[in-house]
Structure 1
Amino acid sequence: MLRANELLAQGFRLAGTPDRSLVPEPLVKQQLSIRGVSVPESVVIESDCTDPLSRVSHLSSPLVVKAFGQGIIHKSELGAVVLGVTHEEIAETLRVMEGNLSNFGLSPAGFLIEEMVPPGIELVIGATRTPFGITIAFGLGGVMAEIYDDVSVQLAPLTVESVEMLLDGFRSSALLRGARNLPPVDRNALVELLLAIAGADGFVMNLGEQFTDLDCNPVIARPDGATVADARLILKDHDPIVGNRPPPVDFEALFLPASIAVAGVSTKGTGFGNRAIAAYRAFGWSEGLSVIHPSATNVDGIPAYSSVQEIPGGVDYLLAAVPAAACADLVRSAAGFARVVHVVSGGFSEAGPQGTSYETDLLKAARDSGVRIIGPNCIGVYAAAGRQTFLLGAPSQSGDVSVVSQSGGLAGDILKIGAARGLRFAKVISVGNGVDVAPAEFVEHFLNDGETKVIGCYLEGCSGGERLVAAFREAQGRVPVVVMTGGLSDQGSRAAASHTGSLTGDRRVWSAIRSATNVAVVERLEDFIGALVYIQRYSGSVIESGPEVLVVGVGGGASVLAADACDRAGLNLEPVQSEIVESLRALGYGAGTSVSNPIEIGVGPAAPPNVFDEVLGNILSTQKFSDVLLHVNVQSYYGFGTAGVAPLCELIRSIASSWSAPRYEKSRFALVLRNLNAAPGVERDNVLATASEIGLPVFENFDEAAVAIAAAKEVVRGDTGSGDRSVIEVV
């Protein structure tokens, strides 16, 4: 088998991308064949061959004729491929093909003559290096592949499990099993083919960092096998390591600084730097706080210095809020005087070509000075234990949830709204464009900081994507990770481009990342916070992680809506066992209502406080449900009662008093408070406070609850290393 450099030496340079080469198709198929991949019988004919007929006499017709050489990429568009050729037509076909290519100013290096593959289902296998690593696409192929756009995606290296997901994951996958009177294809052959191409020891994995793209289209699948009829491989030149590796990030200086300086503070008391100073003062800073100002000696009573070099002893953390054009020089001046610099200023790559130039200079300044920088185009850092904040009124209590956010504004939303929902954060960091320190380094740190038990990420971009995926893999079975992605829609991607200067890409790529790493992936802020709330609540619990969910609450219509929400989230409402149904009917349930799942019960101002326990006790003592979704209608406490939410709060406390029973130990609980806005403000707060006191995660609608439950199931789906995939501890 040839190495990447040996294949490159025989390749043809691609116009416009001089560091990339197209490997001749005969050579690609030769290498695939060595790995056991079925390819057509063939022969290569030189462009100056005078007797092509004698060279192909051993092949069975009909034949396929293809040209290869410099500039010959899309053969169909150039007239460089002809199907159904007889032996007698070979010479004339070659002559016409050469003429077609000459019209485009191209000359073939040779011709590949192959036996035509018997008809079957035309599929495509595409392997592409993306910012997140090598992704494998599999689905409908042929000349209409781009129009169909019917593929499923997984990350390489593939496993048998991920291959099976590829085979079943595209819309037309029923064709493989036999549909519309077609026989089923050889599924085992497809599994072996995909593993040979992209398994742990597969073809593309052995090409290393020089691999760029492999396009096998079509792959002809039949009842008796699968054959790669066409293959295109692109490799890139080896990238020499330029300069030294950056030093490790000084996370202590970032999250637990002994001294802070803010550059970009005005003596007029306006601007981001001034707000940062106010937030630090409110968070307890008096000593160790400095300002960088060209002329002032103090700003609002804070000592001011003309440069960071003038600050006695330097600083741990330098917050840079100066104009983009001045940031690089500030970083250079910090060499040896600041342990880490956080550039919150905007106006970099997200703003256009001039900003991109500033960003390039900023990274160069970081490398030249040896100072690691966070940002640019972000907002700051929060860590209560280190009195780090970027907001006034930030929570003073430290917790065990850590978040890295590409958006500064959303970092503030996550911190404030999350705290109101009961999240207790250890650290929240906004990284913006991530020109130097990317999200992956923070995820790696959170995994090993000794205090983070749940990790959240908001990502619009993909700087250091492969390292990030590696960190997600490392988190499996150790620390649950919830990812909120932005920029996945067409309009969202345009907004992300202007916001952070980079994109996360196709939803299918994130689906592949989720499958490979068991991170939970959501797209809405409400779902992100809800998932973190739910997972934080049950962190450390040992829960049997199955797909089943039990839904119990009031109202037939509401139960239908709950079932629909669970279906959208991929949850399974497993019917309760028949003997349980009979026991519930014996208790008086089921007259005109459902007692299968969802289960409808009377919950409201007239119901006893233990109404849930009576039903759940009968079910959970016999049948396992890893998650239970309870729901009530808050409006009913006003439409049918006179005591406001007092009975509802008593109901919530009753739920807590039942949790100590052994039958509840193997289940997680969520409560949906439908129509919560029907309660006046004070009473609404009383309900939420009561739920918070007992540690019951609450949601205002079914979809948010269902997404949170699905996220919890996702993050505990990976193996902890014990070999038992049914019982997993969320730690």
Structure 2
Amino acid sequence: MSVESASVAMVAEAEAKAMLRSFGIDVPSGVVVSSIHDVPSSLREPLVLKAVAPALIHKSDAGGVRVGLRHEDLPSAAERMRTDVAQSGHGLEAYLVEEMAPSGREVVVGAVRTPGVGWVVMVGLGGVFVEILADVAFAVAPVSSDDVRAMLGELRGAALLHGARGEAPVDVDALVQVVERFAGPSGLLESLPDDVVELDLNPVIVSQTGAVVVDARIVSRGLGDGSLVPSAPVPARAFTPADAPAFASLFAPRTVAVLGAKSAGTNGANLFIRNLVAAGYDGRILPVHPSAEQIEGLPASPSLAVVDGVVDYAYVALPAARVTDALAAGGGRVRFAQVVSSGFSETDEGAGLERELVERLRPLGTRVIGPNCLGTHSSAARLTFIPEAPLTPGGVAVVSQSGGLSVDILRLGAACGLSFHSVTSIGNGADVTPAELLEHLLDSAETTVIGLYLESLGAARSILDVVRRREVAKPIVLLAGGRTADGSRAATSHTGALSGNHRLWPAIARQSGITLTDSLEDFVNVLLVMDTVDLDVRPRGVDAVLFGNGGGASVLAADALERHGLRTPRLPDATVARLDDLGLPPGNGLHNPIDAPAPTLAVRGGAIAEDIITTVLEETCPAVVITHLNVGIIQRNLGATHGDVTGAIVEAVARARVAARHACHHVLVLKTDGKPDTEEQIRGYAERARTLGLPVLPTFEDAAVAVQALLRHQARTAPSVASSGGAPTTPNDTDSQQEAT
């Protein structure tokens, strides 16, 4: 029995609950009757009476629910219900009578089918928490028990489940089991036909002894064959790389063909050739032009059909309508074609051209990067699409769905000291996907940290599938476009109304163990820290020690750290006494933050920093030491009399890090006074520090964001509790912080 309207079809509550019961999900015992006198006496009191009426979605608002009834109460309650429902404009068709669930905490569990992503699952606290506060968390199905517990842990009201303010805790394990059977592997969601689009289990009453689904709503956009009987469970979707290309030739091409350069004048393809030459690319460059004998001083070929040997990489800047034929002329000799041209699926009229491009080239063995992208940058190969490119080979590899942002990542990253393995702009991603590139980069010995800029939730879902099925040790950092709230859409369920991109990106990041960043600057800074520090160092907890000059600056630094879930606890009295025994000049603050005025920093030309940090690390075990220096003040006040104090402190921090009794991470914050000479000095210090394994960031806020990301990554990838002796504390773990305090 279903309730239908012009746009949606609602599965009758009793039918929905029967489906839940078939998957082992507890629902109240009940019966649907056309006459209230047919209710069996075997149903245990107290009872719940519900109206069954076509198109009646919100039963409570129409007087269609009565609770706490005895058997003798049913006839009069049914008569009042029939009247109330009629006054709301609905005709009562039957009654659903159920046993009342035990009292407990109300929870809502739901799912909404999202294009490109699949089933998105929601868990939240019911009642006012979901109606007004929207205290909910999301994940992508299928979910594991760990996923469900992580979702519950994100709820602002999570303490209510565990016995807040003297109340007894509820059976969280039973709730986890309900969500697993609903949205886990081989759960209810995987069995549903494609026309089912939304589900709400609301409320799920979680008591001290179990979890019962009291109401269930299943929404279909068209009933298909009229039946919503679950089909056989289907396997969870999995990513399978297509053709498994040898991506090494993309990042180290020995032959590069360029299609679309002018014989007279300049366009993007001409500039690409000039960039290759200026970068010192030492492979073969083959301009392809139908009539010119030379392009940019290089011999040109009229077509890929007459090019000798294999073309590892083709840079294609032809009009969209000519791209496919030009590449197909190569007869499969082109391994990768970076199609810079626009006019494909980003426009309505170009979608067919894009399909034809992939369908004709894939059988030939030519893989397409793009179209509508800028190109591939590979530092070691000296392959680049920008002038004056940063070409120092490094371990940071970035895949970006935006060409313009690829340029920004290269420029900003280089200015911050990043050394890139590669930056690949993939544009529309019609053929080669971010997930395929991620697979290669995870396996590449040349990459240490991977960055992703994604705008498509479908691409993010494919990334999630990759990391779910393999062990991932390398940090993956994500910058997502389109994370702002897109507003509640027209939806019949709470889940559909509350879901949006701003909730799905964090959900995918949590499930995949990827670090999600909020801005381009944060993205680059987190990549820098992940690539610079020793990830084999695994400190516990969230404690930080601050050391540097400026009392007010230290206060601001402590505030920034606290905003991001880190602590600056007071040092033990014994440690403070040992610091005081170093014979420092007067005026220091030694309790954490450690405030060292200029006379202290000048001791032994700055080398005193090693003694201070070493002393702290002999008796305490912070997760990170953040050394902050106002470079302009230090060098202008001390440089003439004490030499390169800032440089000496950088070297001292590096020595203390190596010699520390308790290993932890070290980060430098080098602040500028805005003067050009100071900023030039900071660039030099940052370069020197990075070679010593010390990342340099410009502000306390930058350091707090990056350190939080680092510690969270290490907590996610930590050895099991059994082998490590306990779960590591992570930033924003309030209970752990309070326990530590």
> Is TM > 0.5 for Structure 1 vs Structure 2?
yes
- 1:516 deviates by 2.7
- Asked whether the 8 Å contact 2:587–2:596 carries over to 1, the reply is no
- 1:138 deviates by 1.7
1:241-390 mapped onto 2 (5 Å cutoff): 246-285=242-281, 288-313=284-309, 315-350=311-346, 352-366=347-361, 371-390=366-385
- Asked whether the 8 Å contact 2:304–2:327 carries over to 1, the reply is no
- Asked whether the 8 Å contact 1:316–1:339 carries over to 2, the reply is yes
2:260, 2:406 → 1: CA distance?
Answer: 21
Q: Paired residue for 1:532?
A: 527
Instruction: Pick which of 563-572 and 217-226 moved more.
Output: 217-226
Indicate yes or no: 2:397 matched with 1:402. Answer: yes
Q: Paired residue for 1:698?
A: 696
Indicate yes or no: 2:26 matched with 1:38. Answer: yes
- Asked whether the 8 Å contact 1:518–1:715 carries over to 2, the reply is yes
- Asked whether the 8 Å contact 1:63–1:113 carries over to 2, the reply is yes
2:335, 2:627 → 1: CA distance?
Answer: 50
Q: Paired residue for 1:617?
A: 614
- Asked whether the 8 Å contact 2:64–2:85 carries over to 1, the reply is no
- 1:597 deviates by 2.8
- Asked whether the 8 Å contact 1:472–1:519 carries over to 2, the reply is no
- 1:682 deviates by 4.1
Listed as ranges, the gaps of 5+ residues in structure 2 are: 225-230, 488-498, 729-741
Q: CA 1:94–1:491 in 2, change beyond 3 Å: closer, same or farther?
A: closer
Counterpart of 1:536, as a letter, is D
Listed as ranges, the gaps of 5+ residues in structure 1 are: 1-9, 493-503
Counterpart of 1:170, as a letter, is L
1:329, 1:91 → 2: CA distance?
Answer: 73
Q: Paired residue for 2:681?
A: 683
- Asked whether the 8 Å contact 2:402–2:426 carries over to 1, the reply is yes
- Residue 451 of structure 2, aligned match among 452, 456, 480: 456
- 1:468 deviates by 0.5
- Asked whether the 8 Å contact 2:270–2:296 carries over to 1, the reply is no
- 1:475 deviates by 6.6
2:514, 2:445 → 1: CA distance?
Answer: 20
Q: Paired residue for 1:560?
A: 555
Q: Paired residue for 2:669?
A: 672
1:416-431 mapped onto 2 (5 Å cutoff): 416-431=411-426
Q: Paired residue for 2:739?
A: none
Q: CA 1:375–1:574 in 2, change beyond 3 Å: closer, same or farther?
A: farther
- Asked whether the 8 Å contact 2:253–2:283 carries over to 1, the reply is no
1:77, 1:595 → 2: CA distance?
Answer: 63
Q: CA 1:647–1:628 in 2, change beyond 3 Å: closer, same or farther?
A: same
Q: Paired residue for 2:38?
A: 54
Instruction: Pick which of 535-544 and 257-266 moved more.
Output: 535-544
- Residue 152 of structure 1, aligned match among 111, 122, 137: 137
Q: Paired residue for 1:716?
A: 714
Indicate yes or no: 2:52 matched with 1:67. Answer: yes
1:368, 1:24 → 2: CA distance?
Answer: 49
Instruction: Pick which of 58-67 and 424-433 moved more.
Output: 58-67
1:486-505 mapped onto 2 (5 Å cutoff): 486-490=481-485
SS in 2 for 1:564: helix
Q: TM-score, length-normalised on structure 1?
A: 0.82
1:292, 1:368 → 2: CA distance?
Answer: 23
Q: CA 1:76–1:339 in 2, change beyond 3 Å: closer, same or farther?
A: farther
Counterpart of 1:422, as a letter, is G
Counterpart of 1:123, as a letter, is V
Indicate yes or no: 2:625 matched with 1:628. Answer: yes
SS in 2 for 1:544: coil
- Asked whether the 8 Å contact 1:133–1:465 carries over to 2, the reply is no
- Residue 640 of structure 1, aligned match among 637, 641, 645: 637
Instruction: Pick which of 422-431 and 696-705 moved more.
Output: 422-431
Q: Paired residue for 1:231?
A: 216
Q: CA 1:136–1:662 in 2, change beyond 3 Å: closer, same or farther?
A: same
- Asked whether the 8 Å contact 1:139–1:170 carries over to 2, the reply is yes
Counterpart of 1:717, as a letter, is A
1:80, 1:332 → 2: CA distance?
Answer: 68
Q: CA 1:38–1:410 in 2, change beyond 3 Å: closer, same or farther?
A: same
Counterpart of 1:630, as a letter, is T
SS in 2 for 1:663: coil
Counterpart of 1:453, as a letter, is T
- 1:550 deviates by 1.9
- 1:184 deviates by 5.1
Indicate yes or no: 2:151 matched with 1:166. Answer: yes
- Residue 15 of structure 2, aligned match among 27, 36, 41: 27
- 1:482 deviates by 1.5
Q: CA 1:87–1:271 in 2, change beyond 3 Å: closer, same or farther?
A: same
SS in 2 for 1:385: coil
2:364, 2:131 → 1: CA distance?
Answer: 47
Instruction: Pick which of 369-378 and 589-598 moved more.
Output: 589-598
Q: Deviations over 1:211-233 (max 9, x none)?
A: 85432122234455432122234
Q: CA 1:293–1:94 in 2, change beyond 3 Å: closer, same or farther?
A: farther
Q: Deviations over 1:601-642 (max 9, x none)?
A: 235663441232222122211222232111112232256345
- Asked whether the 8 Å contact 1:487–1:505 carries over to 2, the reply is no
Root mean square deviation, CA, Å: 4.1
- Asked whether the 8 Å contact 1:139–1:152 carries over to 2, the reply is yes
- Residue 190 of structure 1, aligned match among 152, 160, 175: 175
Q: Paired residue for 1:127?
A: 111
Counterpart of 2:647, as a letter, is C
Q: Deviations over 1:94-139 (max 9, x none)?
A: 86799799x79x997x764434546654321123454456443222
